[in-house]
Every structure is written in structure tokens, then in C-alpha cells.
Amino acid sequence: MSLSAKDKLAVKTIFDKVAHKAEDIGSEALARTLFVYPQTKTYFSHWADLSPGSPQVKKHGLTIMKGVLSAVELIDDLKGGLLTLSELHAFMLRVDPANFKIINHNLLVVLSMMFPDDFTPEVHVSVDKFLAQVSLALSEKYR
Amino acid sequence: MVQWKAEERAAIQAVFAKLDYESVGRETLTRLLVVYPWTRRYFGGFGNLFNSEAIMANPKVAAHGIVVLQGLEMALKNMDDIKNTYASLSELHSEKLQVDPGNFQLLGDCLTVVIATRMRTEFTPDIQAAWQKFLAVVVSALRKQYN
């Protein structure tokens, strides 16, 4: 289910549009991941405050969203471009790849909340495919 | 048996209160058929499902969207016994329609996305948590007859 030219254009267009809200989107998606799927808190046991709106959640939400935006730039070679990030997630963080689906879902939910008119069904399928490819690229070094 | 806190019941009620079954039903089913195109296989009698414009305009998709939400309403009205409430629906989906159960999750995800577009900031993390729990129970009940 690789990305067509149409998918890439849809992804670039919407992420260009929402990039200025990167912190809001990323932190809201991360907050919902931690709150709605509490098993994900295991990766952040070193944080003082895991609640929505906390400074750590805001800062890390932005980090994640910047990662997603950089993946948009690397959309023609996600596996190659995300190699270092994959090593980080595989060897250091050891994030169970099941969690990529969770944060992807919450990114879609937040995009729907914040940009309902832009997040049409066509954009939805392209972004869903893109996030799935990003997850695959992040999983590349796992085994 | 699933335990529901008072706040969770209230949250699910709040979501349903905002649902325009016609609009939300049609858009949810449209998104399922567009985002996960293999699901079109289950709707062979619906006519033109070849592209998103056709799907959006298809009257059978619109009608069926309402049916799906009415089905979910049954779960809302029987929150303390969704498993038994859905026994015949589960049999229908497994024996007659032979739907791969992975698709229940996908439909739930599409519905959540549509609800998010309607409720926007009112779809708080608290409400989402209760809603995802409700969907998980619904999906589990639908899967019951498969094994």
C-alpha cells in the first residue's frame, strides 16, 4: 500500500497547512495517547506530570510533530530518511510497534477536530497510508 | 461484565446526543469505503462505489449509515449487557455476511474521526476515553460469535 503521487500531494498539502499548529497538534495527540491508552505511560515513567497540558507533554508533542513534518519532507524515501529515528525507537526506547497505531489514530482524531473541512475522506486515506508508512519505517530496525 | 462509571455513561450519552444519524452515518460509511477500499466487497449490491464522489452521493450508503448508527444505539440503550444484546448481530456478521472482524475496528475508527469533526474541542480526552471503551466493548461483542 505504497504512496501514490496523489497521496504525496495530499499529505504535503495538509501538513503545510497545519504546520503552524505543530505544538497544539502534537501535544494534543500525545496527551490523548497517554490518557486514553494508559499503558503508553510506561515509556514516560521518568516524567513528573503526564497529564494533558503538562510542560513535558507539550514539549514532547512538538518533538513528535516535528518528526512527522520531517517525514513529510522525506516522503520519497521514508525508510532511508528515518533510519536514525528507527534505531532510536528500536534499540533505545524499545517502543512496542503496536503503539505507533495508537498515536497515528490520535493524530487523525486531532486533525479531524482542528481541521474538519480539510480532513476530507480523500485526505484521510492519504494521511492514514502515510502514517502507516512512517510506522513501517520506524519499525525497520526492530529485527 | 463491563463496569461503567457514571461519568462514562454520561460521556457516551453526550456523544450520541450530538449525532445527526443521517449526516454522521453517511460520512462514517463513506470514510470506511474510501480509506479501507477492501470493505467495498461487503456492499456488492450498493451500485456505484468506484470513487469517493460516487460513494458520498450513493443513497444506499446513506441509508445504511443510519442502520449502523441505529445498531450502535442498541448498545447505548443496553450498556450493561452489550454482549447479549449483540448476539444475533454477531451471528449475522459472522455467519451470513462473513465480515472479517478486523473491519469492525476500522469502522469504529472512522466513526471516531467523524465525531471528532462534529464535536471538535467538545470531544475532550475524557469523552474520548469513554467513547473508545464503548467502541471496544461493541467490537468485542460483535466478534463473540466468530470463535
Q: Name the nearest CA neighbour of B135 among B117, B108, B107, B113.
A: B108
pTM greater than the 0.90 cutoff? yes
Residue-wise pLDDT for A42-81, tens only, equals 999 999 999 999 999 999 999 999 999 999 999 999 999 9
Please tell me the distance in Å from A108's CA to the nearest CA on chain B: 7
Partners of residue A104 in chain B, C-beta under 8 Å:
none
The Cα A53–Cα B77 span in angstroms is 34
Partners of residue A125 in chain B, C-beta under 8 Å:
34-35
Burial label for A124, CB within 10 Å (0-12, 13-18, 19+), is buried
| Residue B18, number of CB atoms within 10 A of its CB | 12
Confidence of residue B147 (pLDDT cuts 50, 70, 90): confident
Residue A1 has pLDDT above 90, yes or no: no
Axis-axis angle for helices B125-143, B59-77 (nearest 10)? 100
Residue-wise pLDDT for A86-135, tens only, equals 999 999 999 999 999 999 999 999 999 999 999 999 999 999 999 999 99
Residue-wise pLDDT for B27-54, tens only, equals 999 999 999 999 999 999 999 999 999 9
Of A110, A112, A121, the CB nearest to B34: A121
CB B25 within 8 Å of CB B69:
yes
Residue-wise pLDDT for A4-52, tens only, equals 999 999 999 999 999 999 999 999 999 999 999 999 999 999 999 999 9
3-state secondary structure of A29: helix
A124 at B interface, C-beta within 8 A? yes
Residue B140 has pLDDT above 80, yes or no: yes
| Residue B14, number of CB atoms within 10 A of its CB | 16
Confidence of residue B146 (pLDDT cuts 50, 70, 90): confident
**ipTM score over 0.85, yes or no:** yes
